[in-house]
C-alpha cells in the first residue's frame, strides 16, 4: 500500500533564523547589528536585504492604507533601534520573516512608555574596541550592543573605557546608515574597529562574502 498524499510541512521562514545575542543581559545586541548579520548570512549588504524583503511588504501595507511610503521614512531606517512606530514595524517584520519572537528586545520598542525619544539615539555610531577584540578572540560573531546606540551612554560598562566614535584608521565618524552597515567595520576604509595592535587585521570581518 502506497500513501500518495503529500506530507504536511511545518511553515518555513523567509529568512534564516539568526538569533540575537545577549538577550536579557546588558550586552544585548541592537536590531541594526542583528539585521546586518542576517544580511551577511544571505550574502547581501544590509541595504539590499531591506530593499528585497522589507520594503515590498511595507509598500503593500502603505498602499492598503492609502499612505505611500515616502523618502523621509526610508531615510529614517537607520533609527530602527529606537522606540518609534517605524522601529516597531521593522521589529514586527523581522519576527514575521524569521519566526523569531525575541527580536523586540534588540530595540527600545518595549521601553517606549518609559523613555523619551528626544535625543535618545546617537547621530554617529559608537563602540568599545575592547568588546570587539573579545568577540573575535572568543570566536563568536562581531556585533554591536543596544547600549551603544543610546546617546547618554558614554562608557563601556564592561571595560570602563569611553566609547570610540572615530575610525582608528581614517579618523572619520560613522553615521548609522544601513546601506553598508556592518558591525565592527568602518564603511569608509573597511578597517576593523576593534584593532588595537598592528597584528589585528580586517581578516576577522572580511567583506568578500557580500553581494554589493
For the stretch 89-113, pLDDT in tens is 999 999 999 999 999 999 999 888 8
Choice among 50-59, 132-141, 175-184 with the minimum mean pLDDT: 175-184
pLDDT at 162 over 60: yes
- Percentage of the residues of the chain whose pLDDT score is greater than 90: 57
> How far is residue 77's CA from residue 60's CA, in Å, rounded to a whole number?
17
- Percentage of the residues of the chain whose pLDDT score is greater than 70: 85
> How far is residue 126's CA from residue 149's CA, in Å, rounded to a whole number?
7
Q: Can you give the three-state secondary structure of 56-71, one letter per residue? A: HHHHHHHHHCCCCCCH
**Which residue, 91, 177, 187, 193, is CA-closest to 142?**
193
Q: Categorize the per-residue pLDDT at 201 as very low, low, confident or very high, splitting at 50, 70 and 90.
A: very low
State the number of CA atoms in the 13 A half-sphere of 106 facing the CB. Answer: 27
Tell me what the mean pLDDT of segment 23-33 comes to: 94
pLDDT at 150 over 50: yes
* Through-space distance between the first and last CA atoms of the chain, rounded to whole angstroms: 52
Model pLDDT, residue 125 = 94
Note the pLDDT tens digit of each residue in 61-84.
877 776 666 655 656 677 889 988
Q: 67 or 186: whose pLDDT is higher?
A: 186
pLDDT at 42 over 50: yes
Model pLDDT, residue 75 = 63
> How far is residue 8's CA from residue 92's CA, in Å, rounded to a whole number?
27
pLDDT at 46 over 60: yes
Q: How far is CA 96 from the centre of its chain?
A: 16
pLDDT at 143 over 80: yes
Q: Which helix (H) or strand (E) holds 128?
A: none
Whether 80 contacts 107, CB under 8 Å = yes
Model pLDDT, residue 177 = 76
Model pLDDT, residue 199 = 40
Average pLDDT, the chain: 85
pLDDT at 128 over 70: yes
Evaluate the CA torsion angle 77, 80, 81, 82 in order and state its sign.
positive
Report the predicted TM-score, pTM, of the whole model to 2 decimal places: 0.85
Amino acid at each position: 500500500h502506497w500513501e500518495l498524499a503529500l506530507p504536511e510541512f511545518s511553515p518555513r521562514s523567509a529568512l534564516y533564523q539568526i538569533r540575537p545575542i545577549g538577550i536579557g543581559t546588558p550586552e544585548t545586541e541592537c536590531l541594526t547589528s542583528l539585521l546586518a548579520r542576517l544580511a551577511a548570512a544571505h550574502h547581501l549588504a544590509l541595504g539590499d536585504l531591506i530593499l528585497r524583503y522589507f520594503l515590498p511588504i511595507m509598500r503593500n501595507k502603505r498602499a492598503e492604507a492609502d499612505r505611500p511610503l515616502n523618502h523621509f521614512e526610508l531615510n529614517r531606517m537607520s533609527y530602527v533601534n529606537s522606540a518609534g512606530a517605524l522601529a516597531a514595524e521593522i521589529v514586527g517584520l523581522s519576527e514575521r520573516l524569521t519566526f523569531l519572537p525575541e527580536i523586540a528586545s534588540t530595540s527600545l520598542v518595549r521601553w517606549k512608555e518609559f523613555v523619551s525619544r528626544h535625543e535618545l539615539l546617537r547621530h554617529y555610531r559608537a563602540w568599545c574596541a575592547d568588546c570587539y577584540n573579545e568577540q573575535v578572540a572568543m570566536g563568536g560573531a562581531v556585533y554591536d550592543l543596544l547600549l551603544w546606540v543610546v546617546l547618554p551612554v558614554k562608557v563601556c560598562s564592561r571595560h570602563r573605557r569611553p566609547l570610540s566614535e572615530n575610525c582608528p584608521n581614517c579618523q572619520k565618524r560613522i553615521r548609522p546608515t544601513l546601506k553598508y552597515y556592518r558591525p565592527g567595520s568602518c564603511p569608509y576604509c573597511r578597517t576593523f574597529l576593534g584593532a588595537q595592535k598592528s597584528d589585528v587585521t580586517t581578516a576577522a570581518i572580511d567583506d568578500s562574502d557580500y553581494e554589493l
